[in-house]
Structure 1
Amino acid sequence: MAAMLLFGATTVSAGKQDFDLINATGYTIAEVYVAPSSSNDWEEDVLGRDTLGDGEGVTINFAPNQKACMYDLLIVWEDGDQATWEGFNLCTVSEITLYWNNGKATAEYQ
């Protein structure tokens, strides 16, 4: 499964913000939104029609000409619950793993 987040690119190649998103929550993720921290719009679900099951991962790709580094992440699970994280520096983060612990969504990144 691959998700793409393209901002005005016609060809696909690695952007410095590309990262792997790993679902270790125990639940299926229905939607994933990634937007520049400076934006007020989540744009489109980068999973499209796909879902991200527990234990699965997906690579989120950016256009190579994308300049922003700071991004926010919105996750929507199949039951409609949501979690939001702000301020990931995707120019330095290569992997984000999501967890569900004691009724709260958490993220670890590297």
Structure 2
Amino acid sequence: MTVLSAAALVSMVATTALAQGSRQDFTLVNRTGYDISEVYVSPGKANDWEEDILGDDGLEDGDSVNITFRRAGKTCIWDLKVVYSDDDSSAVWHDINLCQVEKITLRYNRKSDTTSATFD
């Protein structure tokens, strides 16, 4: 193996590892008609929601946020919780395969009083 091809192989392995480490990253789109004050993403079946990933920021209706995982997750299955800023009510989705989902769009149906999500 030449030095050039060995360097190319190392670069390819590093790029693949980097891509796999961020494969759970996704975009969250708020089309609910309401502002969202908190967003939690936790490994599936975890007993703790961990920290609000929005921090002091919120997610206004019509806006989106890119959610980036800084740690190398060993699971593809995650749970998502959002909390609305107007009344602190929340909506939860379980068992989302973030290795296959790149965008989650949230919508609220006033008639049925339910928040739904589409996964792309």
Q: TM-score range by the shorter chain?
A: 0.7 to 0.9
RMSD: 1.7
- Written as runs of structure 1 = structure 2, the 5 A alignment for 1:63-102 is 63=70, 65-78=72-85, 79-101=87-109, 102=111
Residues 1-110 of structure 1: matches in 2 within 5 Å? 15-63=22-70, 65-78=72-85, 79-101=87-109, 102=111, 103-110=113-120
Displaced runs of 4+ in structure 1, greater than 6 A?
A: none
Counting matched residue pairs gives: 99
Mark the structure with the bigger radius of gyration.
Answer: 2
Greater relative contact order, per chain length (Cα 8 Å cut-off, separation 6+):
1
Q: Give structure 2 stretches of 5+ with no counterpart.
A: 1-18
**Identical counterparts, % of pairs:** 47
Letter in 2 for 1:43: E
Instruction: Name the SS of the counterpart of 2:40 in structure 1.
Output: strand
Could you report, residue by residue, the CA deviation over 1:13-59 in whole angstroms, capped at 9, with x for unpaired residues? Answer: 86110000000000000000000003110000000000000000001
Structure 1 unaligned residues grouped into runs of 5+: 1-12
TM-score by length of 1: 0.85
Q: TM-score, normalised by structure 2?
A: 0.78
As a proportion of its length, which structure holds more helix?
A: 2
Indicate conservation of the 8 Å contact 1:16/1:64, yes or no.
no
Q: Which has the higher strand share?
A: 1
